[in-house]
Amino acid sequence: MILETAVMQVKPGTENDFETALRAAYEMISRMRGYLNHELYKCIESPHEYILIIRWSTVKDHSMGFRKPPEYVHWMEVLQTFMDSPPVEKHYVDIVVSGRNEAVNSTQEVSLSE
């Protein structure tokens, strides 16, 4: 499994429309070969910054399977209207760390207001 991250800087005042556009794009991205799942996070300290995390079976599934079809052009045309700059994309592999599941489960109980 490959974890793709895309850090995105969104134009101030377009956050709600950006989030709506990404929700609408879910159906398109979920049909792509090798797609496993995705998550979107908004930065607390910088409310115009988002990180999109997409899990793919392989890097090739992302670089060739996602970026080559015509749907990708539409995806980027829609999202670029909200962007201050191009997203910064990187790919990662999982490193097994003992105790990670326990730590993840305990952090889920932490409130954002703490």
CATH number at residue 47: 3.30.70.100
Bridge-based pairing state of the strands 88-93 and 2-9: antiparallel
SS3 24: helix
Please give the residue range of the domain that contains residue 97: 2-107
Residue 98 lies in a domain: yes
Model confidence, pTM: 0.76
How many structural domains are present in the chain? 1
| Domain assignment of residue 93, yes or no | yes
Q: Is residue 73 a part of any domain in this protein?
A: yes
Tens digit of pLDDT at every position of the chain (114 positions):
999 999 999 999 999 999 998 888 887 788 888 889 999 999 999 999 999 999 999 887 767 656 666 766 777 788 889 999 999 999 999 998 887 665 544 444 433 444
Q: Is 112 a domain residue?
A: no
Residue 83 CA to residue 18 CA, distance in Å, equals 9
Domain assignment of residue 19, yes or no: yes
Q: State both tokens at 111.
A: 């409130």
The answer to whether position 113 is within a domain reads no
Three-state secondary-structure class, residue 7: strand
